[in-house]
């Protein structure tokens, strides 16, 4: 069970409050997309869920426990970043196994988990390559593969496709959708791309200036936006 519950979460950098009391409930296995303009706090929220950023106040629960003070690697989450964050000197296999290497997994365990991730991502033939021998989409798949091998119960994606060209973005979007179906994991996905949000999400959270504007199913937001801001961002053309 890995539902993720944010209760009155706030974050200040110095004296500036950038997350201003956010309440969100994400159910186990749900695909939730955070959307909103640049600077509204999407990455900060994800980084707090991942444990990469302290929470100023409020409580964060993952799988029924408050994890505000739990170390990132103990939270059962894996994060995929916009910049691929893969190592150029390592092969695809080594990159995918990286989290397991850190966790001192056995060679056999690493290989079996890498094989499984490679099968899911259709990268079995590319495991001995270096990142320089891969396309942009394949590199991003390596980053996703690294997350998969860790078997997290929650995946966090921070604009994972924004460095890819439009055609590739569409392929990868479908691939991430398939990944969610196959793994049945909870996924929290940040984007400022309306199409990604509308096609991938079970539930969309619209953010503006560190606050939640509306939460709902894509079609609810599309047809019944709560205000002009949501309408402008996701609503039906009027």
Contact residues: ligand ADP, CB under 6 A: 13, 18, 36, 38-44
Q: Which is nearer to ligand ADP, 79 or 92 (CB)?
A: 79
CA distances 51 to 5, 70, 78, 141, 152, Å, are 14, 7, 11, 23, 14
| Dist. CA 82–CA 86, nearest whole Å | 11
| Dist. CA 72–CA 47, nearest whole Å | 10
Residue 21's CB is within 10 A of a number of other CB atoms, namely 15
Q: How far is the CB of 218 from ligand ADP (least distance, A)?
A: 19
Q: Which is nearer to ligand ADP, 43 or 214 (CB)?
A: 43
Q: How far is the CB of 33 from ligand ADP (least distance, A)?
A: 13
Q: Which is nearer to Mg ion, 51 or 134 (CB)?
A: 51
Per rule CB under 5 A, is residue 43 in the interface with Mg ion?
A: yes
| Dist. CA 35–CA 194, nearest whole Å | 8
| Dist. CA 233–CA 225, nearest whole Å | 9
150 binds, among ligand ADP, Mg ion, none (CB under 5 to 8 A by kind): none
Q: How far is the CB of 1 from ligand ADP (least distance, A)?
A: 28
Per rule CB under 5 A, is residue 138 in the interface with Mg ion?
A: no
Contacts of 73 (CB under 8 A, 6+ apart): 102, 103
Please choose, out of 2-10, 39-47, 168-176, 192-200, the segment that lies near Mg ion by the rule CB under 5 A. 39-47
Instruction: Provide the sign of the torsion angle of the four alpha carbons 159, 165, 170, 172, taken in this order.
Output: negative
Q: How far is the CB of 177 from Mg ion (least distance, A)?
A: 21
Please choose, out of 41-49, 102-110, 113-121, 193-201, the segment that lies near Mg ion by the rule CB under 5 A. 41-49
CA atoms within 13 A on the CB side of 118: 20
Pull the structure tokens for residue 123. 């990268």
Q: Which is nearer to ligand ADP, 36 or 145 (CB)?
A: 36
Question: Which residues here bind Mg ion, judged by CB under 5 A?
Answer: 43
């Amino acid at each position: 069970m890995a539902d993720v519950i944010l209760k009155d979460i706030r974050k200040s950098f110095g004296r500036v409050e950038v997350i201003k009391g956010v309440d969100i409930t994400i159910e186990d296995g749900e695909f939730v997309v955070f959307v909103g303009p640049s600077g509204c706090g999407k990455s900060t929220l994800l980084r707090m869920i991942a444990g990469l950023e302290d929470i100023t106040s409020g409580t964060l629960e993952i799988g029924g426990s408050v994890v505000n003070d739990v170390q990132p690697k103990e939270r059962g989450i894996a994060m995929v970043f916009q910049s691929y964050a893969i190592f150029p000197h390592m092969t695809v296999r080594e990159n995918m196994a990286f989290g397991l290497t850190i966790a001192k997994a056995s060679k056999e365990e690493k290989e079996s988990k890498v094989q499984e991730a490679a099968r899911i991502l259709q990268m079995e033939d590319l495991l001995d390559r270096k990142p320089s021998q891969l396309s942009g989409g394949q590199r991003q798949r390596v980053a996703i593969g690294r997350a998969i091998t860790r078997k997290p119960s929650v995946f966090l994606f921070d604009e994972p496709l924004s460095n890819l060209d439009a055609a590739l973005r569409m392929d990868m979007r479908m691939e991430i959708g398939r990944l969610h179906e196959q793994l049945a994991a909870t996924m929290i996905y940040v984007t400022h791309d309306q199409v990604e949000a509308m096609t991938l999400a079970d539930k969309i959270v619209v953010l503006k200036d560190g606050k939640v504007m509306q939460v709902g199913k894509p079609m609810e937001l599309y047809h019944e936006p709560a205000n002009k801001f949501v309408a402008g961002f996701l609503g039906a053309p009027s």
